[in-house]
């Protein structure tokens, strides 16, 4: 089979990760290895739709300039190489991934198990001959058993895997190894309290510590909308808890969304050499309209984000390396209202406002607007229902990153809103407030 070719670059991101062509979804294997940041992703190179999953691969020295590398994993005996993670060990780079097997014509059921692949150079990978290294659990889990996240405490290896109980609740299973090849089941780390509240299946788990606080990230399926919350087809969020006597303890119904936009899923993190925890997610959502499919590709990843814990909640902001692609300052003024046109969609916009603010982006057929007043954000986007976000703030410090088909909105000490944003032509910005707003914009370019 031949890889699908691009027919148009009108929606291609300039400074976000995307496959050179074909389909992309979940980020996998975020790791720093031999001087490079590596990001893998779920990929189907032969069409712009989801297909038998491969692992696409890019690397970077600075989290900004990405080099496309050969496909790292392709299904052979498996029917798909689903999501997983990466770790350096003994000078080598190990990938642990879900081997997915489809329902067979002979009546054999579909199932999932965990495999290893290893590389000396971080580019060419060989699958371990002893696969699988982790088989499906024997009790109280359906065939949904995927997306391993691996880490080490310097002595042993640990791996969590997303699962689903027989009574249809999401769960995370914990495994342990002394040598990375042989694994034993330790326990169920965490389980959905109620399926409709916390999910029927927990995909893409991640587990890490920041300043002594334990964070479990999951992508639940099956959460029912609750007022202004959980409005996406699937969710992506986290629990902040504590480890007590080897168990992860979190408050009842404490699941929080990581991002309040329409297009954010399957977030994964890595620990950078300087100690920062960096997060990247799929900047899309299942069962949406992907306008770029007509051009031979689909899907992109979020701009990398630094995450911290403040007042018991995860906060996200763009990585500081963003400064490397700031070119000339386009605007720098203070005014109560403004209307501007940018010839390139690749801009950064910063607002500092008091109490109320309304802004709107338009590009071709797309329009996205956000207003804030009396502790309420109102998000409106072409083709979508209004979305309300309650978040009381005295002042608004807003940072917005726009690329060729995306807008990410970071509100200091507040929500993050991630959106695919298409349209062609000039990017238009309008804003207004009852008081002067400090507005600053940069042109962004690699």
Active site residues: 26
How far is it, in rounded angstroms, from Cα 171 to Cα 205?
10
CB 292 within 8 A of CB 59: no
Q: Could you give the C-alpha distances from 195 to 142, 192, 205, 258, in angstroms and in order?
A: 14, 6, 17, 19
Return the bridge partners of 396, or none: 353
DSSP 26: E
The residue assigned the tokens 């726009």 is 402
- For residue 168, the Cα-to-chain-centroid distance in whole angstroms is 24
How far is it, in rounded angstroms, from Cα 318 to Cα 151?
24
Structure tokens at 96: 């642990």
CB 387 within 8 A of CB 371: no
Nearest by Cα to 437 from 389, 397, 409, 394 = 397
DSSP 40-65: EEEEETTSSS--S-EEEEEEESSSSS
CB 62 within 8 A of CB 319: no
Q: What residue ranges in 165-212 does DSSP mark as E strands?
A: 170-177, 183-191, 201-210
């Amino acid at each position: 089979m031949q890889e699908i070719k691009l027919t148009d670059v009108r929606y291609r991101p300039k400074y976000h990760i995307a496959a050179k062509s074909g389909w992309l979804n979940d980020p996998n294997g975020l790791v720093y290895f031999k001087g490079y940041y590596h990001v893998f992703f779920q990929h189907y190179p032969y069409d712009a739709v989801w297909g038998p999953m491969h692992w696409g691969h890019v690397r970077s020295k600075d989290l900004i300039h990405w080099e496309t590398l050969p496909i790292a994993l392709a299904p052979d005996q498996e029917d798909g190489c689903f999501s997983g993670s990466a770790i350096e060990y003994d000078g080598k780079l190990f990938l642990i991934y879900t081997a997915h097997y489809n329902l067979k014509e002979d009546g054999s059921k579909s199932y999932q198990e965990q495999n290893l692949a290893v590389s000396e150079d971080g580019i060419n990978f060989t699958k371990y001959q002893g696969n699988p290294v982790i088989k499906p659990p024997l009790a109280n889990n359906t065939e949904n058993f995927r997306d391993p996240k691996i880490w080490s405490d310097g002595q042993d290896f640990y791996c969590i895997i997303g699962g689903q109980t027989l009574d249809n609740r999401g769960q995370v299973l914990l495994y342990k190894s002394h040598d990375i090849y042989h694994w034993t089941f330790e326990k169920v780390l965490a389980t959905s309290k109620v399926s409709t509240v916390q999910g029927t299946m927990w995909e893409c788990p991640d587990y890490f510590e920041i300043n002594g606080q334990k964070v479990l990230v999951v992508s639940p399926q099956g959460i029912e909308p609750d007022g202004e919350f959980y409005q996406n087809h699937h969710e992506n969020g986290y629990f902040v808890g504590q480890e007590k006597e080897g168990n992860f303890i979190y408050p009842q119904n404490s699941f929080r969304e990581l991002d309040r936009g329409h297009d954010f899923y399957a977030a994964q993190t890595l620990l950078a050499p300087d100690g920062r925890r960096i997060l990247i997610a799929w900047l899309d959502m299942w069962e949406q309209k992907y306008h770029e499919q007509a051009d031979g590709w689909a899907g992109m990843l979020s701009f990398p984000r630094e995450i911290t814990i403040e007042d018991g909640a995860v906060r996200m902001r763009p990585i500081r390396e963003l400064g490397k692609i700031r070119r000339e300052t386009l605007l720098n003024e203070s005014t109560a209202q403004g209307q501007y046109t940018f010839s390139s969609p690749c801009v950064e916009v910063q607002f500092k406002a008091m109490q109320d603010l309304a802004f709107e982006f338009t590009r071709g057929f797309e329009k996205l607007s956000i207003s804030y007043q009396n502790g309420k954000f109102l998000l409106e986007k072409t083709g979508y229902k209004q979305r309300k976000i309650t978040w009381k703030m005295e002042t608004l410090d807003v940072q917005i990153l726009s690329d060729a088909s995306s807008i990410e909105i970071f509100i200091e000490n507040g929500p993050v809103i991630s959106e695919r944003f298409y349209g062609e032509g000039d990017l238009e910005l309008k804003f207004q407030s009852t008081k002067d707003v400090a507005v600053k914009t940069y042109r962004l370019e690699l």
